[in-house]
Amino acid sequence: MNNSKNTANYNLAQLMVTAAAREIADDEVVFVGMRLPLLGFLLAKSTHAPGAIGVYELGIVRDTPAPAPLMTMGDLPNLCRAQWLADTADAMGLLQQGAVDLSFIGGAQVDRYGNLNTSYIGGIDTVETRLPGSGGACDLACLARRHIIVMSHEKRRFVPRVDYITSPGFGHGCGWREKMGLPRGGPSTVITTLGVLRFDPDSAEMILSSIHPGVTIAQVRHNTGWSLQVAPDLARTPEPTARELKMIRQFDPEGYWTGSA
């Protein structure tokens, strides 16, 4: 991921962390994930969403921030005074019960309807590259009340149709999830290295909602494998505030996930 600076005060990764944090509402139960979403949850918890609950796939549930910086969800500070220390099956059980409001997912490919591929480039019959597979990502995409996709914005990743659906978005369009028996959820937001995208309620197709500072619509479209629609009220992604940047640097003091700024 490109961590080049957009201004003298913050870099791209820090901008994406703040965008992720702002998707979290107070008192929501969040299946946190790793890398930038891990920092995004900590930022939200420490600013506008103090009542948010963090669920980690190892089976950790926290209602308070970890007492020290984390590089991974399994670091010992994340276990200290956790609300619940269980296992992965228990964490997945919360999803099955419908208790998780929001989850974060990434992928190698995403298409216009938010379907994600982390299994096979080239498809299952003509495999070019075998990817890590689902892990718990399919569960998150199917069972959380909504999920947010975080990934690099490149044409080879943003494709008209994924080679294999590992984690379903809206399938072929509006109404597909209901036909497939998925009782809840779907992607709500896609946070990328170029902007923030959301989904049209009528077509279920991804649309460009905001672009990051210094990015043009032409750049986004050039890096998207289909004719991307742009919201009529297209915005510029809000920059991190001084307070948010201070918190991010406390959570990631060595720049392990966000680099240096």
What b/e sequence results for 45-81 when a residue is b if at least 16 CB atoms lie within 10 Å of its CB, and e otherwise? bbbebeebbbbbbbbbbbeebbeebbeebeeeebeee
In this structure, what are the phi and psi dihedrals at residue 196, rounded to the nearest 5 degrees?
-125, 130
* The one catalytic residue among 57, 128, 205, 239: 57
Q: Which of 165, 190, 192 is nearest to 176 (CA)?
A: 165
Q: Cβ contacts of residue 226 below 8 Å, gap of 6+?
A: 111, 112, 158, 159, 160
SS3 content of the chain, % helix, strand, coil (to 5): 25, 20, 55
Please tell me whether residue 252 adopts helix, strand or coil conformation.
coil
Instruction: Say how many C-beta atoms besides its own lie within 10 A of residue 120's C-beta.
Output: 21
In this structure, what are the phi and psi dihedrals at residue 226, rounded to the nearest 5 degrees?
-140, 175
DSSP state of 57: T
The verdict on whether 28 is a catalytic residue reads: no
In this structure, what are the phi and psi dihedrals at residue 63, rounded to the nearest 5 degrees?
-110, 5
In whole angstroms, give the CA distance from residue 179 to residue 114: 17
In whole angstroms, give the CA distance from residue 224 to residue 35: 24
In whole angstroms, give the CA distance from residue 225 to residue 57: 32
Which residues are catalytically annotated? 57
